[in-house]
Chain A
Amino acid sequence: MGPECQQTRDLLDAYLGDELLVETAHQLHRHLNYCAACRDELDRRRRTALLFRELGTERAPATLRARIIEALEQASVSTSREASGTRRAWWPQRWVKHLRAMLEDVIGSVHIRRAVLALLVGVLVLWIVWAPREHTISAAELLTRAEAVDAALYRDAAVTRTFDVEEWDVAGRLIGRHRVEVARQGALVARRLRDRSGRVTGGAWSTGDGHSQIYRLGASGPLPPVTREDRPSLRSLVEVPWHIDASPSAFVALVRLDLTRVTESTGSYLVEYRAPWLTSAVAAHPVVERATLTLDRPSLRVIRQTVTVREGDVVRELRYLERAFSRVGPDDLPQATFEPDAGLMPAPRAALEATRPRVPVRAVADEGEGLGREVEVLRRLDAVGALFGEQISVERSPDGRVTVDGVVDDAARKAQLQSALSSLAADGRVRIRIETGAERVQQRSDPSPNETTFRQVEVETNRFAAADLVQRHLQTEKDMVAWPEIQRFADGLLTGSRQALVRSWALERLTTRFPPERLRSLNPDAHATWLTLVVGHARAIQYEASILRLTVGPLVAAPHGAGDASAWEEAESQTPEEFAGALVGAASATDEAIREAFAASAIPVTPADLQIAREEFWTNLRRLEVLAARVAGR
């Protein structure tokens, strides 16, 4: 390439972007007129640029859009409150302005004026804080009376109350709002968390022993019991704020009574607690900095409760506002009220997670340890791509020892596998026996009669069935496409579909080796490693399937969205093993169709008869993508 060509190529991108000066563009045209190579280069860059623009066609998921709009609406509610707060601050501002104007008339010096102003404001603040107020009742007495009133509400009756629980951050922004319905009948307590549309998204149901079990939509079944109903802990307040009632007893459990004070107003009592100075700044665990309880004056019923919690640098204010209250006969609430809603039960991906061990059980520690070792071996094999295709077996003996036995192609691969596993072999609990094919043959005196022999199949042509389709797709109006380019296109597809297949094998191996009951014996780390492997393969399958769909689609005018709903429904009802089996099935069928179309073959198939031209292939590919997405948790 001559210097002029080099110079031209440096300018081609700018030329395509219409950024060159007229003169420079003229020079470039002159060169392009006689240089075919640069003309070709320009053309290719133009095509790449077009392809780049095509990458920018994906749309954000509708769920994300909805989520953002909802969050914005919530934020807008909180900011409009702030805005109204600003209007309220108008009068004091005007007063300060008047005061400043008066001082300006009296005192000439700016500094003295400021000092006097600061002093006045300070005195005002002190007066507000320390001004004596009349207390006709002490906080302790008031709260005891309120507790008695509260207890009486539940005596010989069933009660349902609805609260809004809001979480606010230190800057006064609303960060979360829950609507909680609490039904209480004797020792039975049911809490339902509802979203804006009234759908139940979680809840807590009492277990009869004073504890309750928490469920969340989309989670893998019940979370561990967190808290006692009657005495909420601070930890549960931070983690599950909606699990706490606005009640005198909850308030008493969270504060020190000797640091509370009562303020009376016409309709209500306000009980207020403030943590001692510095307590919250130095504490390592969550601390209640401030809490208030507002009681209706004649009835002593709670109408509002706020709790400000500091955990490290994070300060959150929780506001509990009662929205509805009803009291019925002791047995008037249906029994189903006190049972978790069916919708909160786990789904397939959740079923995988559900196997996550909760409480480490000493009795199965040995079993868990051996399993954990096995997961680690699988992880390392996976990292060097040895979990699929090669003849490598992993066995675990009852005493927890793991044996890796395998035959590989050559010495280099053997060394690679050995080095991947070497640090595990050090403690003697993992035994590694990896040999090359040649070594294994040498060891045997007589070759096994069942040994498989491979016969090279000579393919005379390197044409593949869909070559014409690819050629038509790639060529532009004026250019024919060279064969190597067509070949490269096909190779890319073959590699992609093979990748999806081998990864589905790996996924199958991982899920069948660890059925849910064995997963439960894993320690949390090993479980996480296992889940990462599974999700990693699922994502890769999903990626390859989507690339196949986008690349093969334009060749045959693929039907859109076929099979969507059925695949999702199918996914809902399967166990992890069935899931993996279905994935392998879909991946094999896809790979077969891709090979039929894009691998060189002596058997002629007309393009119209190809599997990729049939709806079945597209349904299957979409199914593969959907199943993988489901495992990947997308």
Chain B
Amino acid sequence: MHTTSFLLGRMKAGDERAVEVLFERLIPVLRRMARGRIPARARSLMDTEDLVQIVALRTFPHLNHFDSHGKGCLVAYARRIMTNELRDEFRRLSRTPEMTELVDEIPADDVDPLQRAIESEAIAVYRRALAQLTQDEQDLILLSLETGLSHGEVAEAMGRPSANAARMAVARALARLAERMGWPEETP
């Protein structure tokens, strides 16, 4: 299996099969991301598959300009488009002014304002650290942790030879993420 970066390169070189493979890989990931995200009031107008199609249609025209070696990654890019689409949907429904993205806040049982502020900062640290990882590591973490794909699904999406290989790659990426976080301060 080829990496996403390789396929993006092939696509830019005019390989139409690479576009098909990217599409086949991204759609299941988008379905997993979209599940349960549509606002209840909008479900009569839009279902998960509609959202997946919208995000795919908005993502793919930009792939030619996508920097496969930059800090961003395809999954993160598609996720931003999905978040924007959902935000627009909320606005269309007019009652809720803005959607809160998946992990911008951690649901807590009994949170005081100080604790909430600390966690908010911690999540910002997590996001900054994530952005410092390689594209491959970012994809692995987003797909496994935030999107909830199984190791087998991650292997398929990321071109890893087996579920176990994907699991080990995620574990290693998490170790690197923790190193980059630099939070909280080390205690001697």
B is a partner of A: no
Residues of chain B touching chain A, judged by Cβ–Cβ distance below 8 Å, are none
Residues of chain A touching chain B, judged by Cβ–Cβ distance below 8 Å, are none
